[in-house]
Amino acid sequence: MIPELIALLSAIVHLAFAQNYGYFRDELYFIACAHHLAWGYPDQPPLVALVALLSAPFHWSLLVLRAPSAIAAALDVLVVAALVRDLGGGRFARTLAALAVAMLPAYITLGSVLTTTSFEPLTWSLVALLALRALRAPTPAAGALLGAAVAFGTYGKYSMLLWAFALVLGIACSSQRAILRSRCALAAYAVATIALAPNLLWQAVHGWPFLEVIHADFIGRHPFNNGWQLEYHGFIANTLSFTLEQIAFTNPLLAPLWIVGIVSALRTSALRFFGIAALGTFVVAIALEAKGYYVIGANGILLALGAVAFERAAEPLRAARGAAIVALLASTALILPLAAPVLPVDELIAYSRVLHLTGQHGSSAQLIQPLFAEEFGWRRLASDVARIYNRIPAERRARTAIYADTYADAGAIDRYGPAFDLPPAIGSQNAYWLWGMHGYDMRRVLAVGASRERELFAAYAQCTPVGTTFDRYRAVVEGPTPIFLCSHPRLPRAALWRSLRWYGA
């Protein structure tokens, strides 16, 4: 009953603070995608758009929008506890793993916001659990269930394919490799392939835009405005950052537990495939110079393995078990305000200053959590755009498109614009570009943002700065956003639109 109680408390905490700040930038995009349901999008599979649509009858309420993420976080606690039980862990191991997963800093954050990564911990853990059960009882039904779980996880985020490939590699390198040619495995392959066919067809028809998104994401890496940087272009620097992020995302106190999980799996014949899969996932991610959070789904599985190993090692030392729980609770209490929106924003800034994370050496204190910073300023952006848009003479205004060069800015205008009598935005990033120009002739645009400033200036003979929009809480991720009034296009309408397109995160 303890894991169930931990899961319930996890959901309650996430939901209790879900509305403390505003929409995360990606959530505005997901709402827009929910208005244009499809089997795929350039930068993501369709599940998150469908999840966002569930909040439409509730006027896109933050609480309802984020409830599925909170539920997924709670369910992951239960799945990891079930995995521990199947691994032979006792009551303490299940409790430790459940607490560790519920209190993992990255998982706390993912349960507090709707992102494509929010369902990754649950789906990766579920696939691991079903893979273990299929190995022990290899029936076509078990394989079909595993294939369905892989497909579901892939519809949430394509990184599931990395975990599925790693598991196959781990099994191929273990004594259980014969199962890969069994009817169980064939059922898994068939169900996953058939279920994913509509999305793969969508990507193929549109020229595999996701690959372009990944490439653009890699070349566009840059530090935050406070100088912090998480991803790098250089292989060595990015590898070091990737490794340190695995420790930071999982709480430094828990890092030894998931490392022990890898080692214990490698030393156990029946579980060696898990250790190989985990190492393979990390190695491939590092080789591809991936971002640290791309493999965050594996941590719950490794913590389950580590909890079982720790339970057995600490059997003679009962006090060590209690000390581990107390240390975990204390460290989580310290980290919690930086992982979930439990404090009012100004109190969070003050708390960050106490921790010497901001406001040092005479500099002004600011909101330094990038994800939280991306939850402010969106209504103000729409208001500032409306103020400038309404200054345009009426006869010209009707023919002037509102163009945003990022999906976040376009999503903000679409979400808040109707309150200011703004028309829908057009955008050139990812799915917004596919949705087109809404009938505008593109001879005059009110352009928001500087991400495509060079392309904008090349496309129009005249681009006049007419204002900016800025929110001080967003300072760590973005300074003042410029707004231009552009006219006299240099290119025909279709060619102009092609020149503005960009796929990337």
Q: Which two tokens mark 302?
A: 């490794």
Q: Is 103 helix (H, G, I), strand (E, B) or coil?
A: coil
Specify the pLDDT at position 488.
96
Task: From 41, 84, 34, 73, select the one nearest 55 (Cα to Cα).
Answer: 34
Domain ranges across the chain: 2-332, 378-500
Strand spans (E) along 358-505: 401-404, 426-427, 444-448, 460-469, 481-489
Specify the pLDDT at position 315.
66
Task: From 54, 46, 48, select the one nearest 26 (Cα to Cα).
Answer: 48
Specify the pLDDT at position 232.
54
Q: Are strands 460-469 and 401-404 parallel, antiparallel or unpaired?
A: unpaired
Specify the pLDDT at position 161.
95
Q: Which two tokens mark 459?
A: 């496309």
Residues 6 or more apart whose CB falls under 8 angstroms from that of 163 comprise 124, 127, 153, 277, 281, 297, 298
Q: How far apart are the first and last CA of the chain?
A: 41
Taking the model in full, what pTM does it have?
Answer: 0.92
* Burial (0-12, 13-18, 19+ Cβ within 10 Å), 407: buried
Specify the pLDDT at position 419.
96
Please state, in angstroms and rounded to a whole number, the distance separating the CA atoms of residues 194 and 189: 9
* Burial (0-12, 13-18, 19+ Cβ within 10 Å), 484: buried
CB 255 within 8 A of CB 244: no
Name residues of the chain where pLDDT drops below 50: 223, 225-228
Task: From 87, 124, 144, select the one nearest 270 (Cα to Cα).
Answer: 87
* Bridge partners (DSSP) listed for residue 444: 487
Phi, psi of 404 (to 5 degrees): -125, 135
Q: How many CB atoms lie within 10 A of CB 12?
A: 12
- Which helix (H) or strand (E) element contains residue 17? none
Specify the pLDDT at position 312.
85
Phi, psi of 308 (to 5 degrees): -65, -45
Q: Put the strands of the sheet holding 460-469 in their side by side order.
A: 426-427, 401-404, 444-448, 481-489, 460-469
DSSP state string for 193-261: HHHHHHHHHHHHHTT-HHHHHHHHHHHT----TTS--S--SSHHHHHHHHHHHHHHHT-TTTHHHHHHH
Residue 273 to residues 86, 112, 253: CA-CA distances in angstroms? 15, 32, 26
User: DSSP secondary-structure letter at 424?
Assistant: P
Please state, in angstroms and rounded to a whole number, the distance separating the CA atoms of residues 403 and 449: 9
- Which helix (H) or strand (E) element contains residue 149? helix 140-156
Specify the pLDDT at position 227.
47
